[in-house]
Chains A and B, each alone.
Chain A
Amino acid sequence: MTRILKIYTMPFLLALFVIVSLNSCDSGGGSGDESKDQAKSKGQDYDQNLTELDTSLYNSFFGNDELSEDIEQAKKIFHSIPSPLETAMLLKSAGAEYDDVLLNSNDNVERYTSTKSMALNLGIYTTDLSFASLFNYTQTAMDYMKAAKSMAEGLDITDAIDNETLELLEENLNQRDVVMDIISETFLNSSSYLKENKREDVAAIVLVGGWIEGLYLATKLVGDEPIKGNSLVDRILEQKLAFDIVRKVLADNLENENGKQNPDIVSLVTQLQPLKEAFDKVKVTTTEAKSVQGANQVSTIMSKTTVEVEPKDFEQIKVVVDQIRTSFIQ
Protein backbone atom coordinates (compact mmCIF):
# COMPACT_ATOMS: atom_id res chain seq x y z
CA MET A 1 0.00 0.00 0.00
CA THR A 2 2.85 2.32 0.93
CA ARG A 3 4.57 1.55 -2.37
CA ILE A 4 1.40 2.21 -4.37
CA LEU A 5 0.96 5.51 -2.56
CA LYS A 6 4.54 6.49 -3.40
CA ILE A 7 4.07 5.63 -7.09
CA TYR A 8 0.95 7.77 -7.31
CA THR A 9 2.10 10.57 -5.04
CA MET A 10 5.41 11.38 -6.77
CA PRO A 11 4.01 12.32 -10.21
CA PHE A 12 1.19 14.20 -8.47
CA LEU A 13 3.69 16.19 -6.41
CA LEU A 14 5.86 16.86 -9.46
CA ALA A 15 2.85 18.05 -11.46
CA LEU A 16 1.76 20.34 -8.63
CA PHE A 17 5.28 21.70 -8.28
CA VAL A 18 5.41 22.57 -11.99
CA ILE A 19 1.97 24.24 -11.86
CA VAL A 20 2.82 26.30 -8.79
CA SER A 21 6.22 27.29 -10.24
CA LEU A 22 4.56 28.45 -13.44
CA ASN A 23 2.02 30.40 -11.42
CA SER A 24 4.63 32.19 -9.39
CA CYS A 25 6.56 33.10 -12.56
CA ASP A 26 3.38 34.41 -14.12
CA SER A 27 2.44 36.45 -11.07
CA GLY A 28 5.26 38.74 -11.99
CA GLY A 29 5.55 40.91 -8.91
CA GLY A 30 8.53 39.15 -7.47
CA SER A 31 12.05 38.45 -8.53
CA GLY A 32 11.16 37.53 -12.12
CA ASP A 33 9.90 41.01 -12.79
CA GLU A 34 12.81 42.59 -10.96
CA SER A 35 15.40 40.81 -13.05
CA LYS A 36 13.56 41.71 -16.21
CA ASP A 37 13.52 45.30 -15.05
CA GLN A 38 17.21 45.24 -14.26
CA ALA A 39 17.86 44.07 -17.79
CA LYS A 40 15.72 46.85 -19.17
CA SER A 41 16.82 49.52 -16.78
CA LYS A 42 20.13 50.61 -18.31
CA GLY A 43 19.67 54.27 -19.01
CA GLN A 44 16.11 54.26 -17.70
CA ASP A 45 14.32 57.39 -16.66
CA TYR A 46 15.31 57.82 -13.01
CA ASP A 47 15.79 61.52 -13.24
CA GLN A 48 17.10 61.60 -9.65
CA ASN A 49 19.93 59.56 -8.24
CA LEU A 50 18.05 58.90 -5.04
CA THR A 51 17.29 55.25 -4.35
CA GLU A 52 15.91 55.95 -0.90
CA LEU A 53 14.00 58.92 0.46
CA ASP A 54 15.81 60.87 3.16
CA THR A 55 13.87 61.83 6.28
CA SER A 56 13.46 65.43 5.21
CA LEU A 57 11.88 64.60 1.83
CA TYR A 58 9.84 61.77 3.38
CA ASN A 59 8.36 64.11 6.00
CA SER A 60 7.79 66.88 3.51
CA PHE A 61 5.95 64.63 1.03
CA PHE A 62 4.09 62.19 3.28
CA GLY A 63 4.17 63.69 6.73
CA ASN A 64 0.89 64.54 8.34
CA ASP A 65 -1.19 63.12 11.16
CA GLU A 66 -3.92 61.76 8.95
CA LEU A 67 -1.47 59.51 7.09
CA SER A 68 -0.02 58.09 10.32
CA GLU A 69 -3.55 57.36 11.54
CA ASP A 70 -4.26 55.22 8.48
CA ILE A 71 -1.01 53.29 8.76
CA GLU A 72 -1.79 52.41 12.36
CA GLN A 73 -5.18 50.93 11.48
CA ALA A 74 -5.32 47.15 11.07
CA LYS A 75 -8.25 47.12 8.66
CA LYS A 76 -7.93 47.13 4.89
CA ILE A 77 -7.67 50.67 3.52
CA PHE A 78 -8.34 51.55 -0.13
CA HIS A 79 -7.37 54.91 -1.63
CA SER A 80 -9.03 55.69 -4.93
CA ILE A 81 -7.22 57.99 -7.39
CA PRO A 82 -9.40 59.29 -10.26
CA SER A 83 -9.09 56.85 -13.16
CA PRO A 84 -8.08 58.09 -16.66
CA LEU A 85 -11.71 57.85 -17.79
CA GLU A 86 -13.00 59.84 -14.81
CA THR A 87 -10.18 62.40 -15.24
CA ALA A 88 -11.15 62.95 -18.89
CA MET A 89 -14.84 63.23 -17.94
CA LEU A 90 -14.03 65.83 -15.25
CA LEU A 91 -12.11 67.89 -17.80
CA LYS A 92 -14.96 67.83 -20.26
CA SER A 93 -17.61 68.68 -17.68
CA ALA A 94 -15.50 71.67 -16.57
CA GLY A 95 -15.66 73.10 -20.10
CA ALA A 96 -12.30 71.97 -21.53
CA GLU A 97 -11.98 71.95 -25.32
CA TYR A 98 -10.24 69.20 -27.27
CA ASP A 99 -6.76 69.85 -28.68
CA ASP A 100 -4.89 66.83 -30.02
CA VAL A 101 -1.57 68.72 -30.12
CA LEU A 102 -1.47 68.34 -26.33
CA LEU A 103 -1.65 64.54 -26.33
CA ASN A 104 1.50 62.45 -25.89
CA SER A 105 2.40 61.38 -29.43
CA ASN A 106 1.82 57.68 -30.00
CA ASP A 107 5.10 57.70 -31.96
CA ASN A 108 6.79 57.82 -28.54
CA VAL A 109 5.84 54.26 -27.55
CA GLU A 110 9.30 52.92 -28.47
CA ARG A 111 10.90 55.25 -25.90
CA TYR A 112 9.33 53.50 -22.96
CA THR A 113 11.24 50.40 -21.93
CA SER A 114 11.44 50.50 -18.11
CA THR A 115 8.56 49.33 -15.92
CA LYS A 116 8.12 52.83 -14.51
CA SER A 117 8.01 54.63 -17.89
CA MET A 118 5.67 52.01 -19.39
CA ALA A 119 3.35 52.21 -16.37
CA LEU A 120 3.28 56.03 -16.41
CA ASN A 121 2.58 56.10 -20.12
CA LEU A 122 -0.08 53.38 -19.92
CA GLY A 123 -1.90 55.85 -17.65
CA ILE A 124 -1.08 58.82 -19.91
CA TYR A 125 -2.21 57.10 -23.12
CA THR A 126 -5.40 55.86 -21.42
CA THR A 127 -6.27 59.41 -20.35
CA ASP A 128 -5.53 60.68 -23.89
CA LEU A 129 -7.64 57.86 -25.33
CA SER A 130 -10.52 58.70 -22.97
CA PHE A 131 -10.23 62.42 -23.76
CA ALA A 132 -10.31 61.80 -27.53
CA SER A 133 -13.27 59.41 -27.17
CA LEU A 134 -15.33 61.87 -25.13
CA PHE A 135 -14.93 64.43 -27.92
CA ASN A 136 -15.72 61.80 -30.59
CA TYR A 137 -12.24 61.82 -32.18
CA THR A 138 -12.64 58.20 -33.08
CA GLN A 139 -9.52 57.53 -35.17
CA THR A 140 -7.33 59.14 -32.48
CA ALA A 141 -9.06 56.94 -29.90
CA MET A 142 -8.22 53.87 -31.97
CA ASP A 143 -4.56 54.93 -32.32
CA TYR A 144 -4.24 55.58 -28.59
CA MET A 145 -5.85 52.26 -27.69
CA LYS A 146 -3.03 50.65 -29.72
CA ALA A 147 -0.45 52.74 -27.83
CA ALA A 148 -2.00 51.66 -24.50
CA LYS A 149 -1.96 48.03 -25.71
CA SER A 150 1.74 48.33 -26.43
CA MET A 151 2.42 49.63 -22.90
CA ALA A 152 0.25 46.91 -21.31
CA GLU A 153 2.09 44.21 -23.26
CA GLY A 154 5.44 45.67 -22.21
CA LEU A 155 4.28 45.36 -18.60
CA ASP A 156 3.29 41.72 -19.20
CA ILE A 157 -0.36 42.50 -18.48
CA THR A 158 -1.86 39.64 -20.41
CA ASP A 159 -5.25 39.91 -22.10
CA ALA A 160 -6.04 43.44 -20.82
CA ILE A 161 -6.19 44.80 -24.36
CA ASP A 162 -6.20 42.07 -27.01
CA ASN A 163 -6.91 42.11 -30.74
CA GLU A 164 -10.56 41.32 -30.01
CA THR A 165 -10.75 44.56 -27.95
CA LEU A 166 -9.34 46.55 -30.87
CA GLU A 167 -11.83 44.93 -33.28
CA LEU A 168 -14.72 45.66 -30.89
CA LEU A 169 -13.58 49.27 -30.59
CA GLU A 170 -13.28 49.64 -34.36
CA GLU A 171 -16.79 48.24 -34.88
CA ASN A 172 -18.30 50.61 -32.32
CA LEU A 173 -16.29 53.81 -32.81
CA ASN A 174 -19.42 55.87 -33.37
CA GLN A 175 -21.20 54.63 -30.24
CA ARG A 176 -19.72 56.62 -27.39
CA ASP A 177 -21.35 54.58 -24.62
CA VAL A 178 -19.86 51.37 -26.01
CA VAL A 179 -16.45 53.02 -26.49
CA MET A 180 -16.42 54.24 -22.88
CA ASP A 181 -17.44 50.80 -21.68
CA ILE A 182 -14.54 49.27 -23.63
CA ILE A 183 -12.08 51.80 -22.12
CA SER A 184 -13.44 51.16 -18.61
CA GLU A 185 -13.22 47.37 -19.11
CA THR A 186 -9.63 47.46 -20.41
CA PHE A 187 -8.54 49.67 -17.51
CA LEU A 188 -10.30 47.35 -15.05
CA ASN A 189 -8.51 44.38 -16.65
CA SER A 190 -5.09 46.08 -16.30
CA SER A 191 -5.55 47.32 -12.75
CA SER A 192 -7.09 44.07 -11.45
CA TYR A 193 -4.35 42.01 -13.13
CA LEU A 194 -1.62 44.12 -11.52
CA LYS A 195 -3.25 44.18 -8.07
CA GLU A 196 -4.01 40.46 -8.01
CA ASN A 197 -0.46 39.63 -9.08
CA LYS A 198 1.07 41.63 -6.23
CA ARG A 199 2.15 44.49 -8.50
CA GLU A 200 0.19 47.20 -6.69
CA ASP A 201 3.16 49.55 -7.05
CA VAL A 202 2.88 49.35 -10.85
CA ALA A 203 -0.91 49.84 -10.65
CA ALA A 204 -0.28 52.98 -8.55
CA ILE A 205 2.24 54.35 -11.08
CA VAL A 206 -0.27 53.80 -13.92
CA LEU A 207 -2.87 55.84 -12.02
CA VAL A 208 -0.39 58.63 -11.23
CA GLY A 209 0.53 58.85 -14.94
CA GLY A 210 -3.12 59.11 -15.95
CA TRP A 211 -3.90 61.66 -13.26
CA ILE A 212 -0.93 63.91 -14.13
CA GLU A 213 -1.94 63.77 -17.82
CA GLY A 214 -5.40 65.06 -16.87
CA LEU A 215 -3.85 67.84 -14.82
CA TYR A 216 -1.48 68.68 -17.70
CA LEU A 217 -4.33 68.88 -20.25
CA ALA A 218 -6.35 71.08 -17.87
CA THR A 219 -3.47 73.48 -17.13
CA LYS A 220 -2.70 73.84 -20.86
CA LEU A 221 -6.34 74.30 -21.87
CA VAL A 222 -7.05 76.91 -19.20
CA GLY A 223 -4.62 79.32 -20.92
CA ASP A 224 -4.39 82.79 -19.43
CA GLU A 225 -8.06 83.08 -18.52
CA PRO A 226 -8.86 84.93 -15.27
CA ILE A 227 -8.84 82.66 -12.22
CA LYS A 228 -12.07 83.82 -10.58
CA GLY A 229 -15.26 82.12 -11.68
CA ASN A 230 -13.43 79.76 -14.03
CA SER A 231 -14.65 76.20 -13.56
CA LEU A 232 -11.56 74.67 -15.21
CA VAL A 233 -9.34 76.59 -12.75
CA ASP A 234 -11.51 75.31 -9.88
CA ARG A 235 -11.18 71.75 -11.22
CA ILE A 236 -7.36 72.12 -11.30
CA LEU A 237 -7.18 73.51 -7.76
CA GLU A 238 -9.57 70.86 -6.40
CA GLN A 239 -6.97 68.30 -7.47
CA LYS A 240 -5.22 69.19 -4.22
CA LEU A 241 -7.80 66.83 -2.64
CA ALA A 242 -6.96 64.05 -5.12
CA PHE A 243 -3.25 64.70 -4.59
CA ASP A 244 -3.70 63.89 -0.88
CA ILE A 245 -4.94 60.46 -2.01
CA VAL A 246 -2.09 60.12 -4.54
CA ARG A 247 0.38 60.66 -1.68
CA LYS A 248 -1.34 58.01 0.43
CA VAL A 249 -1.22 55.50 -2.44
CA LEU A 250 2.51 56.21 -2.88
CA ALA A 251 3.05 55.85 0.88
CA ASP A 252 1.26 52.45 0.75
CA ASN A 253 3.64 51.30 -2.00
CA LEU A 254 6.91 52.91 -0.89
CA GLU A 255 8.26 49.85 0.90
CA ASN A 256 8.23 46.25 -0.25
CA GLU A 257 7.62 43.24 2.04
CA ASN A 258 11.26 43.31 3.16
CA GLY A 259 11.04 46.95 4.25
CA LYS A 260 13.19 48.14 1.33
CA GLN A 261 12.13 51.26 -0.53
CA ASN A 262 10.93 50.78 -4.11
CA PRO A 263 13.24 52.88 -6.37
CA ASP A 264 10.43 53.61 -8.86
CA ILE A 265 8.24 55.05 -6.11
CA VAL A 266 11.20 56.97 -4.63
CA SER A 267 11.92 58.57 -7.99
CA LEU A 268 8.22 59.36 -8.49
CA VAL A 269 8.07 61.07 -5.10
CA THR A 270 11.09 63.23 -6.00
CA GLN A 271 9.39 64.18 -9.27
CA LEU A 272 6.09 65.03 -7.53
CA GLN A 273 7.57 66.94 -4.56
CA PRO A 274 7.45 70.35 -6.39
CA LEU A 275 3.72 69.75 -6.97
CA LYS A 276 3.27 69.10 -3.24
CA GLU A 277 4.95 72.45 -2.51
CA ALA A 278 2.80 74.20 -5.12
CA PHE A 279 -0.47 72.66 -3.82
CA ASP A 280 0.53 73.59 -0.25
CA LYS A 281 -0.15 77.19 -1.27
CA VAL A 282 -3.74 76.38 -2.23
CA LYS A 283 -6.30 76.69 0.56
CA VAL A 284 -9.33 74.41 0.33
CA THR A 285 -12.09 74.74 2.94
CA THR A 286 -15.29 72.73 3.00
CA THR A 287 -18.37 73.28 5.14
CA GLU A 288 -20.01 70.32 6.86
CA ALA A 289 -21.92 68.19 4.41
CA LYS A 290 -25.46 66.90 4.65
CA SER A 291 -27.29 64.48 2.44
CA VAL A 292 -30.69 65.36 1.02
CA GLN A 293 -32.77 62.65 -0.64
CA GLY A 294 -34.18 63.69 -4.03
CA ALA A 295 -37.45 62.55 -5.55
CA ASN A 296 -35.60 60.45 -8.17
CA GLN A 297 -33.74 58.32 -5.58
CA VAL A 298 -30.59 60.41 -6.11
CA SER A 299 -29.27 62.06 -2.95
CA THR A 300 -27.54 65.43 -3.10
CA ILE A 301 -24.54 66.04 -0.85
CA MET A 302 -25.01 69.66 0.17
CA SER A 303 -21.92 71.60 1.22
CA LYS A 304 -19.78 74.51 0.10
CA THR A 305 -16.12 74.20 -0.85
CA THR A 306 -13.99 77.33 -1.17
CA VAL A 307 -10.67 77.24 -3.01
CA GLU A 308 -8.22 80.13 -2.63
CA VAL A 309 -4.94 80.72 -4.45
CA GLU A 310 -2.77 83.69 -5.43
CA PRO A 311 -2.43 84.15 -9.23
CA LYS A 312 1.38 83.69 -9.01
CA ASP A 313 0.89 80.41 -7.14
CA PHE A 314 -1.57 79.18 -9.76
CA GLU A 315 1.03 80.00 -12.43
CA GLN A 316 3.55 77.96 -10.43
CA ILE A 317 1.20 74.94 -10.46
CA LYS A 318 1.01 75.22 -14.26
CA VAL A 319 4.82 75.37 -14.58
CA VAL A 320 5.39 72.44 -12.21
CA VAL A 321 2.76 70.23 -13.89
CA ASP A 322 4.37 70.93 -17.28
CA GLN A 323 7.81 69.93 -15.94
CA ILE A 324 6.51 66.72 -14.35
CA ARG A 325 4.59 65.65 -17.43
CA THR A 326 7.59 66.41 -19.67
CA SER A 327 9.74 64.17 -17.45
CA PHE A 328 7.11 61.39 -17.64
CA ILE A 329 6.93 61.27 -21.45
CA GLN A 330 10.67 61.62 -22.16
Chain B
Amino acid sequence: MRRTYHLIALLIVITFISFDASAQCKGFAKKMCKPELTPYIHDGNYHAALLLEGEEADLYKTFYSGQEYRLAVCGGAELPDIEFKVYDAAKNLLYDNTKDNNSRVWDFKMQSSQQLKIEIKVPVSPKPAEEPMEGCVSIMFGFKDTGE
Protein backbone atom coordinates (compact mmCIF):
# COMPACT_ATOMS: atom_id res chain seq x y z
CA MET B 1 0.00 0.00 0.00
CA ARG B 2 2.80 2.37 1.01
CA ARG B 3 4.57 1.60 -2.24
CA THR B 4 1.42 2.43 -4.22
CA TYR B 5 1.13 5.82 -2.49
CA HIS B 6 4.74 6.57 -3.31
CA LEU B 7 4.22 5.58 -6.91
CA ILE B 8 1.11 7.76 -7.25
CA ALA B 9 2.90 10.67 -5.55
CA LEU B 10 5.86 10.27 -7.89
CA LEU B 11 3.62 10.21 -10.97
CA ILE B 12 1.79 13.34 -9.86
CA VAL B 13 5.05 15.16 -9.15
CA ILE B 14 6.44 14.16 -12.57
CA THR B 15 3.23 15.42 -14.27
CA PHE B 16 3.44 18.67 -12.35
CA ILE B 17 7.13 19.17 -13.12
CA SER B 18 6.69 18.49 -16.85
CA PHE B 19 3.76 20.94 -16.99
CA ASP B 20 5.91 23.55 -15.28
CA ALA B 21 8.93 22.88 -17.48
CA SER B 22 6.83 23.50 -20.58
CA ALA B 23 5.53 26.75 -19.12
CA GLN B 24 9.10 27.88 -18.47
CA CYS B 25 9.77 28.28 -22.22
CA LYS B 26 7.35 31.22 -22.39
CA GLY B 27 9.25 33.03 -19.64
CA PHE B 28 12.57 32.03 -21.20
CA ALA B 29 11.53 33.37 -24.63
CA LYS B 30 10.33 36.67 -23.16
CA LYS B 31 13.15 37.30 -20.72
CA MET B 32 16.18 35.72 -22.39
CA CYS B 33 15.51 35.79 -26.13
CA LYS B 34 13.32 38.80 -26.90
CA PRO B 35 15.97 41.30 -25.64
CA GLU B 36 18.34 39.90 -28.30
CA LEU B 37 16.07 41.48 -30.94
CA THR B 38 16.69 45.07 -29.79
CA PRO B 39 16.60 47.52 -31.66
CA TYR B 40 14.36 45.52 -34.02
CA ILE B 41 10.62 45.17 -33.23
CA HIS B 42 9.52 41.67 -32.27
CA ASP B 43 6.73 40.43 -34.58
CA GLY B 44 4.85 38.95 -31.58
CA ASN B 45 4.95 35.31 -32.74
CA TYR B 46 5.95 32.58 -30.29
CA HIS B 47 8.07 29.62 -31.39
CA ALA B 48 9.68 27.69 -28.53
CA ALA B 49 10.02 24.10 -27.41
CA LEU B 50 11.87 21.90 -24.98
CA LEU B 51 14.64 20.13 -26.90
CA LEU B 52 17.18 17.52 -25.87
CA GLU B 53 20.85 17.48 -26.79
CA GLY B 54 21.11 16.06 -30.30
CA GLU B 55 17.56 17.09 -31.25
CA GLU B 56 16.77 19.21 -34.32
CA ALA B 57 13.93 21.48 -35.39
CA ASP B 58 12.99 23.32 -38.60
CA LEU B 59 11.09 26.56 -39.06
CA TYR B 60 9.54 27.79 -42.33
CA LYS B 61 8.66 31.43 -42.87
CA THR B 62 8.07 33.85 -45.74
CA PHE B 63 10.26 36.96 -45.73
CA TYR B 64 9.38 40.02 -47.80
CA SER B 65 11.28 42.25 -50.22
CA GLY B 66 12.62 45.49 -48.86
CA GLN B 67 12.22 44.41 -45.24
CA GLU B 68 15.10 44.14 -42.79
CA TYR B 69 14.93 41.33 -40.25
CA ARG B 70 16.77 40.03 -37.21
CA LEU B 71 16.57 36.31 -36.46
CA ALA B 72 17.37 35.25 -32.88
CA VAL B 73 17.82 31.60 -31.88
CA CYS B 74 18.37 31.09 -28.15
CA GLY B 75 18.92 28.04 -25.98
CA GLY B 76 18.72 27.63 -22.20
CA ALA B 77 21.91 27.89 -20.13
CA GLU B 78 21.84 24.11 -19.53
CA LEU B 79 22.29 23.46 -23.27
CA PRO B 80 25.40 23.86 -25.43
CA ASP B 81 25.38 26.78 -27.94
CA ILE B 82 22.54 26.22 -30.42
CA GLU B 83 23.56 25.76 -34.04
CA PHE B 84 21.40 27.14 -36.83
CA LYS B 85 21.51 27.34 -40.60
CA VAL B 86 19.29 29.27 -43.04
CA TYR B 87 18.40 27.87 -46.47
CA ASP B 88 16.35 29.10 -49.43
CA ALA B 89 13.64 26.94 -51.04
CA ALA B 90 16.25 25.36 -53.36
CA LYS B 91 18.29 24.34 -50.28
CA ASN B 92 21.10 26.83 -50.90
CA LEU B 93 22.86 27.62 -47.63
CA LEU B 94 22.57 31.33 -46.81
CA TYR B 95 23.89 31.45 -43.25
CA ASP B 96 25.57 29.14 -40.75
CA ASN B 97 26.08 30.49 -37.23
CA THR B 98 28.86 28.00 -36.49
CA LYS B 99 30.95 30.01 -38.98
CA ASP B 100 30.01 33.20 -37.13
CA ASN B 101 31.21 32.43 -33.57
CA ASN B 102 27.93 30.64 -32.72
CA SER B 103 26.12 33.97 -32.91
CA ARG B 104 22.58 33.94 -31.48
CA VAL B 105 21.38 36.55 -33.99
CA TRP B 106 21.55 37.17 -37.73
CA ASP B 107 20.53 40.44 -39.43
CA PHE B 108 19.49 40.32 -43.06
CA LYS B 109 17.40 42.08 -45.67
CA MET B 110 15.55 40.64 -48.62
CA GLN B 111 16.02 41.74 -52.20
CA SER B 112 12.87 39.78 -53.12
CA SER B 113 10.17 37.93 -51.21
CA GLN B 114 10.64 34.24 -50.60
CA GLN B 115 10.20 31.39 -48.17
CA LEU B 116 13.25 30.41 -46.11
CA LYS B 117 13.94 27.45 -43.87
CA ILE B 118 15.76 27.78 -40.55
CA GLU B 119 17.36 24.54 -39.37
CA ILE B 120 18.11 24.38 -35.64
CA LYS B 121 20.29 21.80 -33.90
CA VAL B 122 21.08 21.28 -30.23
CA PRO B 123 24.58 19.80 -30.36
CA VAL B 124 25.59 17.03 -27.98
CA SER B 125 27.66 18.41 -25.12
CA PRO B 126 31.33 17.34 -25.17
CA LYS B 127 31.06 16.63 -21.41
CA PRO B 128 29.70 13.12 -20.93
CA ALA B 129 26.51 12.93 -18.84
CA GLU B 130 24.26 10.06 -17.77
CA GLU B 131 21.18 11.68 -19.30
CA PRO B 132 21.14 14.09 -22.25
CA MET B 133 20.40 17.65 -21.11
CA GLU B 134 17.04 19.21 -22.00
CA GLY B 135 16.22 22.90 -22.24
CA CYS B 136 14.14 25.57 -23.92
CA VAL B 137 14.98 26.70 -27.43
CA SER B 138 13.29 29.80 -28.79
CA ILE B 139 13.23 31.26 -32.31
CA MET B 140 12.19 34.89 -32.66
CA PHE B 141 11.97 37.42 -35.49
CA GLY B 142 12.25 41.18 -35.38
CA PHE B 143 11.80 43.72 -38.16
CA LYS B 144 12.63 47.36 -38.70
CA ASP B 145 9.92 50.03 -38.67
CA THR B 146 10.16 51.16 -42.26
CA GLY B 147 8.86 54.70 -42.11
CA GLU B 148 6.98 57.47 -40.38
Binding site for B on A (CB under 8 A): 2, 5-6, 9-10, 12-13, 16-17, 19-20, 23, 27, 73, 75-86, 89-90, 92-93, 134, 176-177, 180-181, 183-188, 191-193, 195-196, 207, 234-235, 238, 241-242, 244-245, 248, 286, 288-291, 297-305
Contacts and interface: CB of A to CB of B under 8 A. Distances in A.
Contacts of A195: 46
Chain A to chain B: the 8 pairs with minimum beta-carbon distance, closest first: A187-B44, A305-B112, A80-B61, A289-B88, A76-B57, A78-B59, A192-B46, A291-B94
A297 B55 CA distance: 29
Interface stretch (B9-17, B76-84, B127-135): B9-17
Contacts of A90: 64, 67
Contacts, number: 196
Interface in B1-56: 2, 5-6, 8-9, 12-13, 15-16, 19, 22-23, 25-26, 29-30, 34, 41-49, 51, 55-56
Dominant secondary structure of chain B at its interface with chain A = mixed
Contact of A288 (B43, B51, B55, B90): B90
Interface of B: 2, 5-6, 8-9, 12-13, 15-16, 19, 22-23, 25-26, 29-30, 34, 41-49, 51, 55-68, 88-90, 92, 94-95, 106-116, 139, 141, 143, 145-147
A288 B88 contact: yes
Nearest to B45: A83
Contacts of B34: 188
B58 A77 contact: yes
A290 B90 CA distance: 11
Contact of B43 (A184, A242, A245, A298): A184
Given A188-B44, A299-B107, A79 B60 contact: yes
Contacts of A10: 5
Contact of A188 (B30, B58, B139): B30
A80 B60 contact: yes
15 contacts: A13-B9, A75-B58, A78-B57, A84-B44, A134-B145, A188-B42, A196-B25, A244-B115, A286-B88, A289-B114, A290-B94, A291-B108, A299-B106, A300-B111, A302-B111
